[in-house]
Amino acid sequence: MWERLALKGGSGGLRLGVLSVFDPWNSPLCVCPFKYSLNPYTGCSIGCRYCYATSYIGVKPSTPKRRLVRRLERDLGRIPPGALVNIGTSSDPYPPEEEKLGFTRRALEVLAPRGYRLLITTKGTLYAWRDLDILSRANAAITPSITGLGGNSLLRAVEPGAPGQDERIAAAAAAVRSGVPVGVRVDPVIPYVNDDPHELKELVGRLAEAGVRFIVTSTYKARPDNLSRMRRALGAEGERLYRLYRERGVYMHGYIYLPEEVRRRLLKPVIEEAARLGLEYATCREGFTGREWFNAGSCDGSHLIPIRISPRRAGAIEKWLEGGRP
């Protein structure tokens, strides 16, 4: 019932403050399960040049949402117990500002003890060094974005505010050791930037060694504003990328997609290596849902979430935060 109400007309009459129904441009290629989005910040100091969210929120640093906790607690009375909440769908929940401000930490302290299913999507690493005390006891999984190997200078140019790739792999490994399931987004795969087949296979191998159980991958889907930023950030490779998308790109569902045969070629090394190593794998908004491209329980990693806490609206919250069980 809740899902039907929420899907009808976006939020279906539900008056939500900081939560929203996840709706990636209403794309028919999205096969994500029904879920809610939470972004403790607007804007994003990570500053990825390929970010899609800048087309509607602009380019600006991470700014915490006003009265986040109060508005979140109000929203929780309007969504079903145990609902899936994806934190970080359009603004990274672990920007540099989070270490001082702690807005994501506060959101976790509200959500986790109540038994909501939490999926954390981030390029940050602070979760591994600060928040595993919560995440390891919660109904939670982490899907960090790790897009290549540490020596790739072109990736540094298009992800200027993100921790290094090696740091992200180390953070994922730390989460696994603490008992938090981790799936990784090798996303986006960008022509001329991080599309070397040997490097992609090496990356998947390193992720498997770190204990990652699931890989989801997708190609760079351009929008006019981020394609221009990519062109400026990448020099000669940016010019090649710009021409490729302008000359061969196909406009679909709000984005410029590369032709299907190109996208299959770009993603094949990731999927084949994941399959060889016995990992679960999926693609994101590509339209590739056959078994050879998608064998996981979900495309977003939500199937990894363990149920450690029975859903509840209230009760024993302080005990949980002090280290007990609700």
Per-residue pLDDT reduced to its tens digit, 62-88: 999 999 999 999 999 999 999 999 999
Q: For the segment 283-318, what is each residue's pLDDT rounded down to a tens digit?
A: 999 999 999 999 999 999 999 999 999 886 444 555
The reported pTM is 0.91
What are the residues whose beta carbons fall under 8 Å from the beta carbon of 221, sequence distance 6 or more? 52, 188, 255, 256, 257, 285
pLDDT-wise least confident of 57-61, 84-88, 167-171, 275-279: 57-61
Q: Which two tokens stand for residue 76?
A: 């929780």
pLDDT-derived band of residue 320, with 50, 70 and 90 as boundaries? low
pLDDT-derived band of residue 4, with 50, 70 and 90 as boundaries? very low
**Looking at residue 52, what is its pLDDT?**
86
Q: Which two tokens stand for residue 66?
A: 């006003």
Cis peptide before 81 (omega within 30 of 0): no
Domains of the chain as residue ranges with CATH: 2-321 (3.20.20.70)
pLDDT-derived band of residue 30, with 50, 70 and 90 as boundaries? confident
Average pLDDT, the chain: 91
Across the range 131-160, mean pLDDT stands at 97
- Dihedral of CA 42/44/48/49: which sign? positive
Among residues 97, 199, 216, the alpha carbon closest in space to that of 153 is found at: 199
User: How many Å apart are CA 43 and CA 214, to the nearest integer?
Assistant: 28
pLDDT-wise least confident of 42-46, 55-59, 92-96, 111-115: 55-59
User: How many Å apart are CA 95 and CA 273, to the nearest integer?
Assistant: 31
pLDDT-derived band of residue 254, with 50, 70 and 90 as boundaries? confident
| Strand extents, DSSP E, 72-124 | 84-87, 117-122
User: How many Å apart are CA 102 and CA 302, to the nearest integer?
Assistant: 24
User: How many Å apart are CA 187 and CA 216, to the nearest integer?
Assistant: 7
DSSP 20-72: EE--STT-TT--PPS-EEE-SEES-TT--TT-STHHHH-S---EEPTTHHHHH
User: pLDDT over 70 for what percent of the chain?
Assistant: 90
**Looking at residue 253, what is its pLDDT?**
86
